[in-house]
Structure 1
């Protein structure tokens, strides 16, 4: 009875949290968008869909489609090279780490490093003697979006490609199929769903991104910059901003419908096997070159992050100096920004992991089917598809002037809600793989529901919990879209401070803050991986100890 009460209380607490911090804020956006004092509400609303909105929406869609198409094609080729060639495991691991580097930095930093790398006074423009291209506008924005979307798209396709049965590819070739026929039948066809998911995720990321358009957009309007102007411009117009926020949900609705349809198209293998492919000098050389070009370009772009802060004044004074770091360390406001970011990321990682883990427990542990499971799964889908800027706007509208206004707590809450879906799915998958009868056995031995979680479920899902913490921490450090409307002078975090520093042209401070952010993320991620390996080694030792004990017992019985 007590177990049921604790479980039911957990269910209601989780639902109350999302009712307060997801449902009600979104309802507030709808109310704000609807004209309250107008004889003709539809005519009043139509003023939103003017030429500027149409141009902004068209630009966001067009740039998102082009950049995501390039990222998906490049991500597929890189994943193919990592799984179906003989270019060396160490080579792949090293280059993959470089490819994933942008995930540890906010998107607004991409714009600044591109400017200092390829602008008129950029590092590589100076070395070559001329500017390669105009960094402001189409090329710069597309490069920024491709750098932003390539790492997650590559990860999705690469992880799925590892489960493809390579025997089918070899059989297809032995039966006389052309290489492109074998490629389509045995590799591309099973990956239709994953490729579509990767494309939709990349499109959604670029369509809703604020950092890159604000840094490189120049005079090109985007839907995210239009939303920012509606709420944070010289003359704020909350109704206009709320209407723009609602139009940003259109791609979300389409993506949810398409993903639900693609869920039925999943391809499964009973026992996928990985056979060693024979070496092919031309093929392996081509994919090795592709990896080198991609990773080298990433390094060329982000190298300025490690150069500019250590020189006097780019491009006039190029002598090595640490004066910028000394000035930074003495600036109380910048140090406070760094502390705020660390505190927000830490609190988000702890409380977000607890929320997602307990939500997963009450939906995945137990044979009974309940309405709560469907509700949380729906919430997971909604949080995964709502743009961060829309969440930020909704919180600004409903909590402005309240107890949470201008506090670090509201930044933590909005980040927890924004990134809830992935940690929840991580925990749910891990918990579903465990023996379903563990709770019944513990109950028969007198353990309570909470004690069972502490003594059985948590120890058997340590790795997943560590991954959840790392996911929440890194995303809390780099997010800007959800918190740009909610931070104040006292609660400024690194990403919002970067936007403020851009306004004053203080790029040394921008790069130093970005370096600190990158270093912190690297330390935390490497620390989590070290702890994870320690947990794995400990589990292996325990397994060997149990096997040894069983063997000795067997010998003593004999």
Structure 2
């Protein structure tokens, strides 16, 4: 037992040092730079105020649209009799598998001045500006909002609705009086998560913003283009505010409106009008999601878009000549390292906080979920200021560390929630029987939560492949991830190559998802055999 306690102590120390040097100290260093006169002067400039107004307007508009669409699609998949629900549900999450830069680029391919749809229908107007950013931001943020709402709505109990039908309460009143109160907690989470995603993203507005400059784009231009760190610090501090507010609201709302367990599933009656709406909604959202992805496939294999649309594989060779292969390997190395290390750290952190009582466990839980409130672009700048001149600066190590912190909270919560569902007296019973915590962890907890571990690994990997914000300030030409190559190729007007690189990222993540799905099926089969 003494060895088990020693291992737990070592684990706590490792996690404490990780959070201290990877999150707390870099952010404190960023805040310290606010004392610089140059940083304080930024807040009064016209450029900063305009970017603030644009960011808030874009984020609010995008949030209303994205969350509204998320509610509609979740309702369609849970309350109608349309076919192919599983495939549609997967399709709704596809935008999560490519960088936000690619979303903006896909809209340009479709609706730009020489866009496919623009030329096909002889459309006037421009995709660049406020509404272009909104469209791209909705596409980028919709999957997160959809998953939050859908994962709750599909477990709703049908009994209150059956009682309402007996009482003759109209469907509209049922939705307002039963569904919306039931969804209150997830809707609050979806609203703040969506707003934070949009307000801190620079990928979409960088591609389609035009003259409508947002705070993240201004920060990117000032730091990357002009090396003006004072402006970056000031904007980084402002971008941290909505994320912190979202985190606090979500925390304060955590114990309210608890969701019920399903005691009876929905028996969905036939209704042609409702199902027709469901098919139309699904078709519209599917086109909205698939058209930008299809545009990558078209543009990747044409000679010169939009001048010469003849088929060619030359762009593949050109992309690899621009080091796309090397950067893809970089992305794989970073994603695999983060996935392995991150899954181990997040799982053991979840084990300590969910299975071991005490003040240190509560502090660790608070610190772990607080990383949710750190936008990637702010984290990246804080790393520049804190680690510059150290042995890890300009290496793969700092990119791995940044991604670990940036994506730690969600996999940690997966482990925490999964481990918390196992009988809390398990370790106490094991102790009386002379069974160590390590044995219980190895023989009981890990097998029972193996699917969660697979999900944690997948989450880390996919997000590392698509992220740009956390690593934009840290990557060099030697260790640059593939997602950042999109910006470089677009700046060189290598349109066809940017499309192919986006396809490479999408294809990699799709393959990873298929592999993880196969592993989860194998786990389920093995568990079913064990039960028999």
TM-score tier after normalising by the smaller chain length: over 0.9
For this pair of structures, how many residues does the alignment match?
Answer: 531
Aligned to 2:267: 276
Contact 1:133 1:139 (C-alpha < 8 Å) held by counterparts: no
Q: Secondary structure at the match of 1:319?
A: strand
Query: Which string of whole-angstrom CA distances, capped at 9 and with x for unpartnered residues, describes residues 398-451 of structure 1?
Result: 111211111111111111101111100111111112233443455566555444
Is 1:392 paired with 2:380? yes
Contact 2:43/2:49 (<8 A) preserved: no
Unaligned runs of 5+ in 2: none
- Computing the radius of gyration from Cα coordinates, the structure with the larger value is 1
Q: C-alpha offsets along residues 490-531 of structure 1, whole Å, 9 cap, x if unaligned? A: 011112111122221112221111111111100111100101
Maintained 8 Å contact 2:296/2:499: yes
Q: Retained in 2: the 8 A contact 1:105–1:517?
A: yes
Q: Whole-Å Cα distance in 2 between the matches of residues 288 and 494 of structure 1?
A: 37
Partners of 1:271 and 1:517 in 2: how far apart? 38
Once the two structures are TM-superposed, the CA of residue 280 in structure 1 deviates from its matched residue by 1.1
For residues 302 and 39 of structure 2, what CA distance do their matches in structure 1 show? Answer: 54
The aligned counterpart of 1:517 is 505
1:364 aligns with 2:354: yes
Matched, 1:59 2:54: yes
In the alignment, structure 1 residue 112 sits paired with structure 2 residue 105: yes
Q: Closer, same or farther in 2 for the Cα pair 1:441/1:374, shift >3 Å?
A: closer
**Cα distance change on mapping 1:423 and 1:381 into 2, 3 Å:** same
Deviation at 1:221, TM superposition (A): 1.3
Aligned to 1:15: 16
Give the distance between the partners of 2:49 and 2:39, measured in 1 at CA.
16
Contact 1:7 1:449 in 2 (8 A): no
Whether contact under 8 Å (2:233, 2:381) holds in the other structure is: yes
Give the structure 2 partner of residue 50 of structure 1.
Answer: 45
Q: For the residues of structure 2 that align with 1:194 and 1:439, how far apart are their CA atoms? A: 33
Q: Secondary structure at the match of 1:233?
A: helix
- CA shift digits 1:130-159 (9 cap, x unpaired): 135411112211110110111111111111
1:448-493 alpha-carbon deviations (Å, 9 max, x no partner): 5444433332222211110000000000000111000000010111
Q: How far did 1:268 drift?
A: 3.1
Alignment partner for residue 335 of structure 1, among 325, 344, 364? 325
1:227 aligns with 2:219: yes
- Partners of 2:34 and 2:201 lie apart in 1 by 22
SS at match of 1:491: coil
Residue correspondence of structure 1 range 154-173 to structure 2 within 5 A: 154-173=146-165
Change (3 A) 1:524 1:490: same
Say whether the 8 Å CA contact 2:161–2:174 is kept in structure 1: yes
Gaps (5+ residues) in structure 1? 36-40, 545-558
* Equivalent residue for 1:215, pick from 201, 207, 217: 207
TM-score, normalization by structure 1: 0.92
Query: How many angstroms does 1:177 deviate by?
Result: 1.7
Contact 2:403–2:470 (Cα < 8 Å) also in 1: yes
User: How far apart are the structure 2 equivalents of 1:503 and 1:315?
Assistant: 17
Please give the per-residue CA displacement for 1:303-328, whole angstroms capped at 9, x wherever unaligned: 11111111111122121111111333
| Closer/same/farther in 2, CA of residues 179 and 438 from structure 1, 3 Å limit | closer
The normalised TM-score by structure 2 is 0.96
CA contact (8 A) 1:393 1:485 kept: yes
Which SS does the other structure have where 2:135 is aligned?
helix
Cα distance in structure 1, aligned partners of 2:39 and 2:205:
28
Distance, in Å, in 2 between the alignment partners of 1:29 and 1:493 is: 24
